[in-house]
Amino acid sequence: MASTSTPKKIDEVRKALDILNSEGWTADQLMEGVTLLLNQHILKYNWVGFYMLEPGANPPMLVLGHFQGAMTPHTRIPLNQGICGAAASSGKTVVVDDVNNDPRYLACSLETKSEIVVPIFLNGKVAGELDIDSHFPAAFGAEDRELLEYCARIVGQRLERK
């Protein structure tokens, strides 16, 4: 398995995302569509899901939303835990090439080898994130990051239009 996705595949998924995004769906429907599209079309994206910040929670809490893949024990993640907490608290994409060598990692599946978490912004503030796990080490290259940041952007824009 190549460490990055082919430009052709990324291009196809990008076009499909633009079609989804033009459907007039709610943010919730769009998020579900994004998880299905990414999980079905890019085979190394073995678990694809959204975590959203719980409105009004103190301390802040990430709550599992739409996802594809095996059920995870981590349905609620505080911001000081996990790769998910790191991405949400820093507002930056976190890429982990080898989850077993990252002390922050909260295990979901023994098969997971690498992970990317991309924050979603609503009016300039982190509102949630898109989390992808792969069974392959170092699965997330620059093209993947760009694609997933695009997904996060369209979801953030849709949330702003609510």
Q: Least separation, in Å, of the C-beta of 23 and ligand SME?
A: 27
Round to whole Å and give the CA distance between 34 and 21: 9
33 contacts ligand SME (rule: CB under 6 A): no
SS3 65: strand
Contact, 15 vs 5, CB < 8 A?
no
Contact, 45 vs 134, CB < 8 A?
yes
108 contacts ligand SME (rule: CB under 6 A): yes
119 contacts ligand SME (rule: CB under 6 A): no
Query: Is 49 or 156 the residue whose CB approaches ligand SME more closely?
Result: 49
47 contacts ligand SME (rule: CB under 6 A): yes
Give the nearest residue (CB) to ligand SME.
82
Please give the single-letter amino acid code of residue 151: C
Q: Least separation, in Å, of the C-beta of 35 and ligand SME?
A: 12
- Consecutive H or E run containing 114: strand 114-122
Q: Least separation, in Å, of the C-beta of 145 and ligand SME?
A: 17
Q: Using CB under 6 A, pick the residue from 13, 27, 38, 83 that binds ligand SME.
A: 83
Stretch that binds ligand SME, among 25-33, 53-61, 82-90, 151-159 (CB under 6 A): 82-90
134 contacts ligand SME (rule: CB under 6 A): no
Cβ-based neighbours of 84, under 8 Å, separated by 6 or more = 51, 62, 74, 77, 106, 117, 129, 131
Round to whole Å and give the CA distance between 82 and 32: 23
Query: Is 32 or 115 the residue whose CB approaches ligand SME more closely?
Result: 115
Half-sphere exposure of 51 (CA within 13 A, CB side): 29
What does the binding site for ligand SME look like in residue numbers (CB under 6 A)? 47, 49, 72, 74, 77, 82-84, 105-106, 108, 115, 131, 133
